[in-house]
Amino acid sequence: MKQMKILTRHSVVGASLLLLLGPLGIATNAAPDEDVPWRHAIAMHGEPALPANIKHFPYVNPKANKDGNITFGVQGTFNSLNSYALKGAWTSARGMREREMGSNVLESLLARSYNEPFSLYAHLAEAVRLPEDRSWIEFRLNPKARFSNGDPVTVADIIFSLQTIRDHGRPPYRGWYAKIKEFKVTGERSLKLVFENGDDRELPLLISLAPIFNSRTTNPQGFEATTLTPPIGSGPYTFKVIEPGRRTVYERDPNYWAKDLPQKTGFDNFKHITVDYYRDYNALQEAFRKGDVDVLVYSNPSLWQKALDFPAGKSGEVVKDVFARQTPANFLGIAFNTRKDVFKDKRVRQALAMLFDFKAINRTLFSDLYQRTGSYWQNSELSALGHPAGEWEKTFFAKYPDLVEPEVMQGTWRPTEANGSGRDRKILRAALQKLQMAGYQLENGSLKSNETGEQLSFELLVRDNDEEKVGLSLKRTLKLVGIVLRLRRVDAAQFEERRVNFQFDAVFNTWFASLSPGGEQYARWSSNAADTPGSRNIVGAKEPAIDALIDAMVGARDREEFVQIVRAFDRVLISGAYAIPLYHAPAQWYARWTHLQRPETTPLYGVEFDIWWANNNLTNNQ
C-alpha cells in the first residue's frame, strides 16, 4: 500500500493571531476570579464521579496489549476530512473523532467519561474553573500538550479553533461558539471565555468539547470547503493512508503527548486503525466473514440470528457480543418533510403513522426480535411514556393549549398497534376518519384532496434492502386507503445530498438519544434550524414550544427539573407526529473475530472500540 505524504498549509493566521486579538474584542489583562477554585473535572448536573487522583477510567483495561491492528467496515463513502464544515459534513471520513471509534486525530480541552451522563475531565486543559452561574469558564492548558507535528497547543490555538468554527463551521457548532462574548487571555497558558449570561448552562461543557486545530497549519479561509488535506491534530493517531471514498488508515503516533496520562491509560491500543468503506451492507457482511473486517454491528435481527452461520463462526473464531442498553434507545423513524404541502397537516402525519403495521413487519422481516419505539428517549427516565405530566409540565403547557395530545400528557399513549395482518380494518377505518378530518375523501380507491382533487401521494427515499422492504410493506397498507407511496432507492452520496438540502418527501432517519440532551437539540428541532441547509432539523419543525423547551433544557439547574423538561419536550415531539416511529433492538449486537479482546466492563454509553485491544498471537498484520 502506498505511503501517503502529509502536506500542510502554513498560514500567517497562527503566527499573527495574537496581534489580531484586539479588534476581535479579546482582552489580555483580565484578572482571574480567585473565589472560583481550579478543578480537575466538571459535570452538567451534580458532581463528577471520579476524584482528581484517578489512575485510569473504571471501564478500561490498564494492561491492555498495545500491539496489533483493527479494521472497521462502514457502509457509505467519504469525500472530506472536515466534519465541522457545512460542505461535506455528512460525508466526511469516519474515525477522526467520534464516540465509538475514539478521538483519534482531533481532541478537546476536556475529555468525556462515557460512564457518566455528562462529566468532563482534564485533558488538553490540565485544570478548569467554572462559577456557579456559569457566565464564564477558564482553562489552564497542560504544558505537555502537543500537536502531532510537535507544535505546542497554545492559547492562540484555542481562540483560533473557536473563532474559525464560529465564522466558517456548520450548525450547531457555529451557533454554540458564537455565544462567546469575550476571550480573555489570563496567562501564558490560561484563557477565560465569557458568555453573555449563564442561561445556557450546558454551553461551557459544549465549549470544553470543541475540536482544537493547529492554527499554524489550518487555513481558515478554506475551512468551508471539502478537503482531503488531513488536519494536524493533537490526538494519538495520524493519517497513514487516504484513498478517497474507499479507505483510510490511521497510524498511532509514538510521540503522542498524553499516552502516559491517567485519562488515556487503557486507550488507543492499536498500532493501525483501518476504515474500509462498502457500498451496501451485504458486501460489508461478506468482508467480515472473510476476515477483511474485524468487527461488525448488526441492526437486522434476521442477519443477527445467522451471524455465526459460516465456517469461522462455527469454529469459534468469530463470536457474538450482546451489550444491554443502559441509555435510551435511539429513535428510528420515517421522517416527514413538513416543508412539503402534503405533510403540513398534522392529522395526515398521524394517520400515516397509524397505518404502519409493526407486528406484521417485525414478524415477516425481523423474526420478532425488534421492540416498538414510541419515545425519543425510550426506556429511560427522560421518556414521556409511562410518566404523567408533572406540575412543571402542566404549568408550561398552559401557555400552549391543545399542543399535546391528552393521552401523551397522561403518559398512557403508545403507537397504534395493528393486528399484524397488514390490513387491520379497525385501524384502516380510524386512519381514514382522521384523513377525512384533514380534507380528504376516498373515491374509487383513490384518496383525494377535497380542495385540489389530487390524490395523496409522496416519495420515500431508501438506501438499502432493509429500508426498501419496510417501505414496500408500508406501501401495500397505504394502497388500501388510496394513498400512493413511491419508493426511490439512492446511493449514500445522493441520499446525503438530498437530505442536507431537504430535497425529499420522507426519509428514514435516526435521532440519537443520550441521558444528557441539550444544545444539539437546537440543530435538530429549533425554528432557526428549520430553514438552514445542513442542519439536523430535517423535518422542518417550527414550533415555539420546542424552542422554549430547548432553552429551558440547557438552562436547567438540577436533574429533577431537567427530567421534567425533557419529558415535556418528548411530549411535544410525539404529539407533533413528525415521523412514523419504527423500532429498536433490545440490545447492541456485535460479532467479532476473537483476536479482538474487550474489557469486562462496558461503559454506560455502550461500546467503545478505543479501549479494545488485539491478542498479539492471533491478530492479522496490516
Does the pLDDT of residue 361 top 90, yes or no?
Answer: yes
Distance CA(267)–CA(611), nearest Å, equals 5
Q: Residue range 549-572: average pLDDT? A: 94
Q: Residue range 178-193: average pLDDT? A: 96
| pLDDT for the residue 1 | 34
- H or E, element range at 555: helix 544-555
Distance CA(113)–CA(353), nearest Å, equals 37
Does the pLDDT of residue 4 top 60, yes or no?
Answer: no
Give per-residue pLDDT as tens, 374-424. Answer: 999 999 999 999 999 999 999 999 999 999 999 999 999 999 999 999 899
What is the SS3 assignment for 432? helix
Q: Are strands 457-462 and 506-511 parallel, antiparallel or unpaired?
A: parallel
| pLDDT for the residue 302 | 84
Distance CA(501)–CA(535), nearest Å, equals 9
- In degrees and rounded to multiples of 5, residue 118 shows phi and psi of -165, 80
Closest CA to 461 of 360, 359, 540, 538: 538
| pLDDT for the residue 548 | 97
User: CA angle, corner 484, sides to 483 and 487, nearest 5?
Assistant: 140
Q: Indicate the CATH number of 237-325+586-614 among 3.40.190.10, 3.40.50.1820, 3.40.720.10, 2.60.120.460.
A: 3.40.190.10
Q: Residue range 584-599: average pLDDT? A: 94
Instruction: Enumerate residues 6+ apart whose C-beta is below 8 A from 61.
Output: 266, 599, 611, 613
Instruction: Cell numbers for 502, please give them.
Output: 431537504
Highest-pLDDT range among 45-49, 325-329, 437-441: 437-441
| pLDDT for the residue 174 | 87
Does the pLDDT of residue 28 top 50, yes or no?
Answer: no
**Whole-model pTM above 0.85?**
no
Residue 108 or residue 601, greater confidence: 108
Distance CA(348)–CA(252), nearest Å, equals 53
User: For the domain bounded by 331-584, which CATH number is listed?
Assistant: 3.10.105.10
CATH 3.10.105.10 range(s) for the chain read 331-584
pLDDT confidence band for 464 (50 / 70 / 90): confident
| pLDDT for the residue 89 | 63
CB-CB contact of 541 with 344 (8 Å):
no
CB-CB contact of 165 with 520 (8 Å):
no
Q: Assign domain 12-62+80-222 to its CATH architecture.
A: 3-Layer(aba) Sandwich (3.40)
Residue 501 or residue 10, greater confidence: 501
State the Cα torsion 110-114-119-124 to the nearest 10°. Answer: -10
CATH 3.40.190.10 range(s) for the chain read 12-62+80-222, 237-325+586-614
Closest CA to 92 of 217, 232, 242: 242
> Distance between the two ends of the chain, CA-based, in angstroms?
10
pLDDT confidence band for 620 (50 / 70 / 90): very low
Q: Residue range 274-293: average pLDDT? A: 95
Closest CA to 522 of 173, 177, 208: 173
Q: Which of 69-73, 132-136, 615-619 is predicted with the least confidence, judged by mean pLDDT?
A: 615-619
Q: Are strands 596-597 and 613-614 parallel, antiparallel or unpaired?
A: antiparallel
| pLDDT for the residue 125 | 98
CB-CB contact of 105 with 238 (8 Å):
yes
Bridge-partner residues for 484, per DSSP? 457
Query: Quick check: bond before 172 cis, omega within 30?
Result: yes
Percent of the chain with pLDDT over 90: 77
Distance CA(233)–CA(249), nearest Å, equals 15
| pLDDT for the residue 12 | 35
Contacts of range 551-557, beta carbons closer than 8 Å, 24 or more positions apart: 551/199, 551/200, 552/396, 553/202, 553/517, 553/518, 553/521, 554/199, 554/200, 554/201, 554/202, 554/203, 554/518, 554/519, 555/199, 555/200, 555/201, 556/45, 556/201, 557/201
Give per-residue pLDDT as tens, 474-531. Answer: 999 999 999 999 999 998 778 888 988 999 999 999 999 999 999 899 999 999 999 9
| pLDDT for the residue 494 | 87
Give per-residue pLDDT as tens, 128-185. Answer: 999 999 999 999 999 999 999 999 999 999 999 999 999 998 888 888 999 999 999 9
What is the SS3 assignment for 80? strand
pLDDT confidence band for 88 (50 / 70 / 90): low
Give per-residue pLDDT as tens, 306-355. Answer: 999 999 999 999 999 998 888 899 999 999 999 999 999 999 999 999 99
| pLDDT for the residue 91 | 78
CB-CB contact of 226 with 242 (8 Å):
no
- H or E, element range at 388: none
Question: What is the SS3 string spanning 314-381?
Answer: HHCCEEEEEEECCCCECEEEEEECCCCHHHCCHHHHHHHHHCCCHHHHHHHHHCCCCEECCCCCECCC
Instruction: Cell numbers for 8, please give them.
Output: 500542510
| pLDDT for the residue 255 | 97
Give per-residue pLDDT as tens, 223-240. Answer: 888 889 999 999 999 999
| pLDDT for the residue 16 | 40
Does the pLDDT of residue 446 top 50, yes or no?
Answer: yes
What is the SS3 assignment for 586? coil
Q: What is the mean pLDDT of the chain?
A: 91
Distance CA(583)–CA(587), nearest Å, equals 12
| pLDDT for the residue 23 | 37
